[in-house]
Chain A
Amino acid sequence: RGCSRSTRVLFHEYSIKAAILIQRWYRRYVAHLEMRRRYTWNIFQSIEYAGEQDQLQLSSFFSFMLDNFTHMNGNGPGNKYLISHLLDSVVDPLTEEVRQLKYEQIVVPESYCGPRLSFPLSVTDTNALLSAFKEEQTLHGKYVLQLLYETKKFLKQMPNIIYLSTSYAKEITICGDLHGRLDDLLLIFYKNGLPSAENPYIFNGDFVDRGKKSTEIIIILFAFLLLYPDHMHLNRGNHEDHIMNLRYGFTREVMQKYKTHGREMLQLLQDVFSLLPLATVIDNKVLIVHGGISDKIDLDFLSTVERHKMLLKYVLFHMVIICLIQVVDILWSDPKNQSGCSPNSFRGGGCYFGPDVTQALLQKHGLCLLIRSHECKQEGYELCHNGQVITIFSASNYYEEGSNRGAYVKLGPELVPRFFQYQVSRSTRKLTLHQRVCVAEGSALRALKEKLYAHRSDLMAAFQQYDIDNTGRISTSEWAQVVESVLRLDLPWRTLRPRLARLGADGNVEYESCFEDISPGEPIPPVTPNLAETLYRYRTDLEIIFNIIDKDHSGQISIEEFRQTWKLFSSHLGVAVNDQTIDDMARSIDFNKDGSIDFNEFLEAFRVVHKLVIKEQQQG
């Protein structure tokens, strides 16, 4: 092409320089994205754990009630309801045979075209279930009841700790949290095969809550459990508990999908969950539990406890029983890297256990490895404590699309773990790194803004303390300090500031701008902004309390019950609300004036709207 040799040499030099420039620039661009991805992760995790810490708030409320039991005004039925609701277990009036007959007699209409199970189950049944759920069908209530009933009967004869062996050169597959993500379970079965004699599985707890298909997941898992009792094993997780289900969505899901039989299912589920084994041991060498361990754990002692009595509601009432503490430790603890064993303040239950605690327990029982779940990990799994602890987590995209992979681990007779990762993808076209980061980040930031909104008055009061001249601005340092002291999420606020608040011309933060993007949603009952904020902040706790009062899960409570509950809760929080305001609120919510309140409608009113998202949707 007529290029002289020197021109070619010169070009070569330039092209190397150009390449280096592009490489340097691109690596910086990727690092920037990685930083965003990482703090997005931190945001999700902080909010999740803070939410679990709110459980402590609820627990202290119940204690408060217990303490004030005798001091409540004589006419008030309020807390008597709650305590009796919570503590009284419903005594089953029907005998086994009668119950079984009752379920058999439930009529399934001809028009129902979903799976029809027959017990004892066969491979035809499990295949039918899998196909049906892939097609988004719902299993008829009759079969769910029968399935749960058979599962309960089966689990009753199981010990607290199950001992397995990898004989016949079989590899055992261990999966972690699924949290209602059916797609992940189906993906695991697709990649790794269905459970069978040649393909044994252990599912390590937290099958339900948060995701939308918890019902389908437990149906599949219990069906395989009954079909292959020697090759399918389920450990209990901290979410296999009535109180957790009230808070984190499983109860709601069941009641929505099964209006007729949901209540009875929930009753059976309470029993089934409490009967799930606590731990599995492979080859007397590998211990598998959902949360972790503590320095109090003794496996021999644990084998003797009456596990079906270990319910979270007793912890909430601070009924301290020695065995209950050990069980809570098994279900709630997290590993840490410093030595020692300390209470798990993040979660509100269980411990943080160090490598020395792991070493001690493994040694005591002649074990070599601990496999646990309970914590979401970006790669789906993580090793710690010098490889003696494996965390395995099987719900991909747990926080948001693209947030993390899921994984499972396989162990053969050599007990060398092999890890397999995957990620469910909603779109067929692969998202670029940038797109994945943006989606997850958007979601995390919205959650963070809601937190800011929920604490608006406290934040404004603190901001204004620094803003003596009332300029509407304070320094970045001051802003970060205030936000951390109020929200206590331990997040890198300076790095996040550009996404949350505006700077003025003088380089200081216009602190009111961090509330700009959020506005209250539907027109709410006439309450002051302060009260609205409080209601918004404690929405979830109120929901739990209402659900406890509403024993038959009808979605309705009486105005009297509403009044009493709210009075108690607000006096516990120290929020001054006069009786008239509560009465007005109650009356205005009682839309059909029949003396009862649909509390789901009530709570719906306290949602918030993200204005930017609305704008995007309108433009989009």
Chain B
Amino acid sequence: MADKYSADTIITETQKRISNAFDVFDHESNKTVDVREIGTIIRSLGCFPSEADLHDIIAELEEEEPTGFVRYEKFLPTMTKILLERKFRPITEDLLLQAFEVLDQQKKGHLEPEELTKYLTQEGEPFTQEEMDEMLSAAVDPDKNVILYKDFFH
């Protein structure tokens, strides 16, 4: 077996991961994906970009005359760089818990659905109604009708 830790191997392995993830969304098997799937692909490779970050990346990946599709030849080098430079580092569980605690101003230990909705649909990079509904359906405790955020973390 070749030396696993050589720089070349790391790059090749990284690129194969990127290729696999890209292929999942390449419906017509012609090495292009819909530009609207780029965010999903990048995130599924372990990155946590913001919407603004994605906006910039997509602008870089699009053709001069935007076709609505992104070609693999353009995606690969951009994504390789992102992964090798470890951009858009993961958000740790500690950090996420702190975020919820900040929003829980009154230190109740839980959040009301209306509270969370207000923050997430009005502040930062606001959720769409669909995103908010989906998150609430997963996060709200059906009996108590609140979000017991501490339970998300081990």
Contacts and interface: CB of A to CB of B under 8 A. Distances in A.
B114 interface: no
Interface stretch (B56-64, B72-80, B99-107): B99-107
A34 B40 contact: yes
A28 B95 CA distance: 15
Interface stretch (A15-23, A359-367, A510-518): A15-23
B16 A477 contact: yes
Interface string B112-151: 0000000110011111000100110110000000000000
Contact of A15 (B17, B49, B119): B119
B134 to A, nearest CB: 6
A595 interface: no
B4 interface: yes
A477 B17 CA distance: 10
Interface in B35-54: 39-44, 47-51
A38 B125 contact: no
Interface residues of B, number: 45
B25 A38 contact: yes
A148 B115 CA distance: 62
B49 A24 contact: yes
Interface string A485-522: 00000101111000000000001100000000000000
A15 B100 CA distance: 9
Given A32-B43, A492-B20, A495-B24, A23 B124 contact: yes
Contact of A20 (B16, B21, B50, B105): B50
Contacts of A18: 98-100, 102-103, 119
B84 interface: no
B11 interface: no
Given A24-B49, A28-B48, A35-B40, A433 B134 contact: yes
A35 B17 CA distance: 13
Chain A interface residue number, banded: 35 or more
B137 A430 contact: yes
B91 A35 contact: no
Contacts of B102: 11, 14-15, 17-18
Nearest to A34: B40
Contact of A31 (B40, B51, B134): B40
B44 to A, nearest CB: 4
A26 interface: yes
A99 interface: no
Given A28-B48, A35-B21, A21 B96 contact: yes
Contacts of A24: 48-50, 91, 125
A25 interface: yes
B1 interface: yes
A21 B16 contact: no
A587 interface: no
B48 A11 contact: no
21 contacts: A14-B102, A15-B102, A17-B99, A18-B98, A18-B102, A19-B99, A20-B124, A21-B91, A22-B100, A22-B103, A22-B119, A23-B51, A23-B127, A24-B91, A25-B91, A31-B40, A38-B24, A475-B1, A477-B13, A490-B29, A507-B4
Interface of B: 1, 4, 13, 16-17, 20-21, 23-25, 28-30, 39-44, 47-51, 91, 95-96, 98-100, 102-103, 105, 119-120, 123-127, 131, 134-135, 137-138
Given A18-B102, A21-B91, A507-B4, 17 more contacts: A11-B105, A15-B102, A19-B103, A19-B123, A22-B119, A23-B51, A24-B48, A26-B131, A27-B51, A31-B39, A35-B21, A430-B137, A434-B138, A477-B13, A477-B16, A492-B20, A495-B24
